[in-house]
Structure 1
C-alpha cells in the first residue's frame, strides 16, 4: 500500500500509517489503503492481534484539509460515509486492535484511535477534535465514540471548544489506558499484544464482540449476547483443555485456538 504499511511480528500485525510528509493526514487513498490492509490482516490466520501506529511524529494529524476545503455537501457526505465505513470495520474487526498513539491524534486521528479497542499513548501524544474551529463537525465518528468513551460532558467540552489535550489529560478522562515515554511505547504495545495473543482466541474474539455489541444496546440484550458468546466457547477444544487442566491443578502449555 502507498500510505499504510503492514508488518507481521509472529502473531502480532503492526499497521503503520505512513504519510509522514503530511503528518499521516487521511485522504481518500489513505483510507483505501487502510481498508485493504484490514482485509488482508483479517484473512491472515497467523495474525491474532493488531497494533496501529503512525510514522514520524504523528499518529494521524486529521483528515486532509487540502482535499476537503472545496468539497460540496454531497462530496463531504460521501467522504464522511466512506471514512466511517472503514472506521466501523476497524471497530468491529474480529481480532483485538491496540492503538499506539505516538504523536498528534487530532480530528480524524483521534477518531481513528477511538475505533481501536485499547489506546496507549506516548508522552508526546496530543488528542483533540478541532473541527468546529474549521467550521465543520467531526466526520468519522467523533461525536459518537468520544461521548461513549469519556462521557458526555468531557466529549462536549473537547468538541465544542476545539481544544487539544496532552497524553496525561487523555489518561485522566479515560481516553487512553496508559502513557509511556516515547522510546517505550511500541515495546509496551507489543507486550500487551503478546499477552492477548497468549490467551484462547475464540474466547478473546467472542469477548470483544460481546463488549462491542453491548455498547450499542440495553443491558438485557447485551446480557443475551454475552450468553451466546459464553456458550460458543463451550464448543471449543481450548475450553475443554483449560478447564480440565485447572481441575487437575495443571496449566495448558499453549492454546490451540479452536
Structure 2
C-alpha cells in the first residue's frame, strides 16, 4: 500500500491535521507537490475550524528534489515551463493563506525552502528552539517562488527578507522569534502534543470571528489601512447574525467573561 506524502485528518472538533511524511527528508518532488495541492483542496471543501500543518521525521524538510524538479528545466533553458510551475506554487500558497480559519505550522527541526514558504503562508508558526529555517534557493541560482519572500517581508521587514533570501542562510527559531517570524517557541519535549493542543484551542474558538479577522488583515496587507477600514464594518457586523455571537453574549451577561463555548456557526 502506497502512503501519500501529505495526508489530512479531520477530528470531530473541527481540527484538520495536515501531516507531511515523505521520507527520508520530506523533499519537494512531483508526488509531494500533487499531494499538497490535493490536501489544500480537501481543506477548502471540508472547511475545518482550524488547521495544523506538521511533519514526520527528523527534519521538517531538507528542501526541494532539485534533480527531479528544477534541473531538467534549467538544462533545457525552459523559462516558460519554469514560469508556469512557479505560478502553480504561488497559487497554492495563496489558497492556503486564504483559508477562512486559523492555520498553524509546527516546526520541530530543519525547515527549508518550500516548507518554510508553507509555514509563512500559515497564520501562526510554532517551533522548538532547535528548529531552523532557510530560504536557500539562491544556492542554485533561484529565488523563492511560493510567496515566501513577500510573506517574510510582511512579518520581519523588507531588509531582513533581503538578508535571509540573498544570503541563503539558515536561521534559528529563537532568532526568528525575535524578528516576529516565529510566533511561539515551545519545548522540544512534548512539542507535537503542545502544537496540537494550541491548534485545538483555536479550533474551539469563534470560527466566524477568526475568519473576519483574517479578512480584515488580508485587506490590510494587500490594499493598505484604508482597504482594511473599508471591509471592517461588514466583516465584523455580519457576526451579529451568527449563533456563536448570540450564545457568547448571553454567556457573558449571565456568567461573565471566558465561559462561552463556540460551535463555528
* TM-score, normalising length: structure 2: 0.90
Alignment of 1:177-192 (within 5 A): 177-192=183-198
Moved more, 98-107 or 55-64: 55-64
Moved more, 142-151 or 191-200: 191-200
**1:14 corresponds to 2:21:** no
Name the CA distance, whole Å, in 1 between partners of 2:192 and 2:143.
Answer: 32
Matching residue of 1:255? 262
* TM-score, normalising length: structure 1: 0.92
- SS of the residue corresponding to residue 34 of structure 1 reads helix
* Inter-CA distance 78–224: structure 2 relative to 1 (3 Å threshold): same
- SS of the residue corresponding to residue 118 of structure 2 reads helix
Alignment of 1:143-158 (within 5 A): 143-158=149-164
Matching residue of 2:56? 55
Contact 1:20–1:58 under 8 Å retained in 2: no
**Aligned pair partner of 1:44 in 43, 46, 55:** 46
Moved more, 133-142 or 150-159: 133-142
Matching residue of 1:231? 237
Alignment of 1:81-160 (within 5 A): 81-160=87-166
Structure 1's unaligned 5+ residue stretches are none
Contact 2:240–2:246 under 8 Å retained in 1: yes
Name the CA distance, whole Å, in 2 between partners of 1:174 and 1:253.
Answer: 30
RMSD: 1.8
Contact 1:63–1:109 under 8 Å retained in 2: no
* Inter-CA distance 20–182: structure 2 relative to 1 (3 Å threshold): farther
State the Cα deviation string for residues 104-147 of structure 1 (Å, max 9, x = none). 21111211110011000122311111111211111211221111
**1:175 corresponds to 2:177:** no
**1:165 corresponds to 2:168:** no
Contact 1:105–1:128 under 8 Å retained in 2: yes
Name the CA distance, whole Å, in 2 between partners of 1:138 and 1:123.
Answer: 24
Name the CA distance, whole Å, in 1 between partners of 2:162 and 2:148.
Answer: 11
State the Cα deviation string for residues 218-249 of structure 1 (Å, max 9, x = none). 21111121211111101112222222332334
**Aligned pair partner of 1:243 in 242, 249, 264:** 249
Name the CA distance, whole Å, in 2 between partners of 1:172 and 1:60.
Answer: 23
Deviation for aligned residue 1:253? 5.0
Deviation for aligned residue 1:8? 2.9
Contact 2:248–2:260 under 8 Å retained in 1: no
* Inter-CA distance 35–234: structure 2 relative to 1 (3 Å threshold): same
Name the CA distance, whole Å, in 1 between partners of 2:154 and 2:185.
Answer: 21
Count of residues paired in the alignment: 256
- SS of the residue corresponding to residue 52 of structure 1 reads strand
Contact 2:244–2:264 under 8 Å retained in 1: yes
Contact 1:31–1:86 under 8 Å retained in 2: no
